[in-house]
Chains A and B, each alone.
Chain A
Amino acid sequence: MSGTALALLGFVAMLALIAARMHIGLAMLVTGAIGYMLMQSPYALFAYMKTNTYHQFANYTLSVIPLFVLMGAFAERSGLSTALFRAASAFVGHLRGGLAMALIFACTGFGAICGSSVATTATFGRATVPEFDRYGYDGGFSTGTIAVGGTLGILIPPSVILVLYAISTEQNIAKLFMAALIPGLLATGFYLITIFIVVRLRPKVAPVHAPVPWSERFALVVKVWPVMLVALIVVGGIYGGIFTPTEGASVGAVAMLLIGLAQGSLDRVAIVGALRQTAETTGMIFIILLGSEVFNAFLALTQVPTNAAAAISGLGLPPYLVLVTLLAFYILLGAVMDELAMLLLTLPVFFPIIAGLDFGFPADEVAIWFGILVLIVVGIGLTAPPIGLNVFVISAIARHHPIKRTYVGVLPYIVADVLRLGLVIAFPGLALWLVRMLS
């Protein structure tokens, strides 16, 4: 059997196993190992697995993942989400749709500490749903906003998805974090405009309430400034080249712990909870990483990624058509598959295709720009029907609001996301300007 046929068979077998409830990391690992064995020999597989698992996990760049997860877990357990939401709502909460706007601001701030969209959604879901309900906000509108606000956890750097993209495509994490900032802030702006339009068209979804006195507003800001300072140091330090992403994540995790202890917001139970949460999240990510490593080693042996890139380049298709097709495929796949696994599975094939096309600017910039576009479509996949992981997370928290209403609430934001995606495709400078400035 040819390498291409074996690779296709491997893909089909893996998707079948995933559909049959085998967990994604294991499905990749099993099909990759069998494929590797068929391409080489059982002894070659044995030799490959002798220390490969250990060395895969001993990658210095990967150490950034548990540390960023830990930083986010400490922030979550210390009640940062509630503090941020209260501070933001003190300033804009009295406007029509103000609580939704406050949520978006708070998620943006939280996104600078936490690199996970699910964690952001869950944290803000628990903290803000009662507030939205208390002020009489429409359930679909509020839960839809929380689901979308959760994506800011990955859209605003640091972002676990970007770290995985960087590792998978051998790109510079710091440059990807720089590139993500403007599109991330653009997301915040687009979501605020969406809220403004929605409440203009349907004022009943978001009643107004009395403003908070100025003295109280500043007291609430004082509570969150140390944490926001940590975010600034971590992200600013990485941007400025003062420290590597691993060092930034280390400083952030330790600083978050110390601030939590100093403020009395992190007790023993909260710390243990954060460590346990880190264990579960990181374990889940690393088994997928191991599976994708083995599966990609098998794919590399079949030479399918290289051949696919050469074949598509040879067709002479317009580069932007190929790009838009791949992004549309990502949106469709993201609707039925976990985003993290989707990326690790497809990038070894898709990335060489994109890298082989001429977009009129250097290949390393194309790689970074593509990473940001992928990040945006991953964000869309997290909220778009029929699955949308963030929608599931919020509906599990706010069970009294039907999931269908949440999907309706999410729709205007998806329109905004697609517009933003189009903007970053049309103007790559939105992602690359800061990279060019700071590099």
Chain B
Amino acid sequence: MSDTARTRSPVIVWAERLGIFGGCLSLVTGAIVTASVIGRWLMDSGVPGDFEFVQMATAVSVFFFLVSCQSHRGNIVVDTFTGFLSERARNRLDAFWDVVYGLVMAAIGVCMVEGTIEAIRSHTGTMVLQLPLWPALMVATMLLFVLAGICFWTARQLVKVRS
């Protein structure tokens, strides 16, 4: 997959935007925690339940990051033992593993659909802020399916561009 081909693709652009959105979420998390630290220091009182927000925002932002990371195939691969293969063969192998990755993420997504439904039914929420858990689970689940789609897309690009 050439960089030029990738950067022109709207799929890459949107995957990157999701990653940037996740980064913004992390930054907001950082700002809330900083406000809490300052509040605690100046007024002896931090932002109530800030750690619950941090947990939730971090979890959701990571699912955004996974999408962005896969769109650039940024996961760590050991290529020491496949160096003898031709570039075409390596790309085909990478494409195959991308399909496997997509299937695994979709399978986890299916499991998480069940987990989200259970969270809705049981009204599971956070301890202090009583925030419902299901919206975060739902976003995370949807992003897993997006990640699966991105995996299939990167696999297709690997086969198409270099063949």
Contacts and interface: CB of A to CB of B under 8 A. Distances in A.
Q: Do A and B bind each other?
A: yes
A328 interface: no
Looking at B26, B112, B137, the one whose CB has the most chain A CB atoms below 10 A away is: B26
A253 B70 CA distance: 25
B159 interface: no
Q: Binding site of A, secondary structure by majority: helix, strand, loop or mixed?
A: helix
Interface in B1-47: 16, 19-20, 22-24, 26-27, 29-34, 36-37
Interface in A1-58: 18-26, 29-30, 33, 46, 49-51, 53-55, 57-58
Interface residues of A, number: 56
A23 B23 contact: no
Interface in A44-82: 46, 49-51, 53-55, 57-60, 62-63, 66-67, 70
A316 to B, nearest CB: 37
Contact of B19 (A21, A33, A275): A275
A276 B37 contact: no
A159 interface: no
Contacts of B97: 21-23, 26
A310 interface: no
B75 A24 contact: yes
Interface in A237-295: 243, 246-247, 249-251, 253-254, 257, 272, 274-276, 278-280, 282-284, 286-288
B70 to A, nearest CB: 7
A249 B30 contact: yes
Contacts, number: 192
Nearest to A283: B69
Contacts of A284: 69, 74-76
Interface string B108-123: 1001101100110000
A25 B64 CA distance: 17
B64 to A, nearest CB: 7
A280 B64 CA distance: 10
Contact of A59 (B30, B55, B137): B55
A57 B104 contact: no
B58 interface: yes
A284 B67 CA distance: 10
B104 A24 contact: no
Given A23-B77, A53-B108, A278 B23 contact: yes
Contacts of B34: 247, 250-251, 254
B84 interface: no
A70 B30 contact: yes
Contacts of B81: 19-20
A157 B42 CA distance: 27
Contacts of B19: 275-276, 279-280, 283
A283 B65 contact: yes
Interface in B88-132: 90, 93-94, 97, 100-101, 104, 107-108, 111-112, 114-115, 118-119
Nearest to B75: A23
B152 to A, nearest CB: 14
B72 interface: yes
A288 B65 contact: no
Contacts of B80: 19, 336, 387
B111 A46 contact: yes
Given A63-B55, A279-B20, A283-B19, A51 B78 contact: no
23 contacts: A20-B82, A22-B100, A24-B77, A25-B75, A26-B97, A26-B101, A33-B104, A46-B111, A46-B114, A49-B107, A49-B112, A57-B63, A62-B58, A70-B30, A243-B37, A247-B36, A254-B34, A283-B66, A283-B68, A286-B62, A287-B66, A336-B78, A341-B76
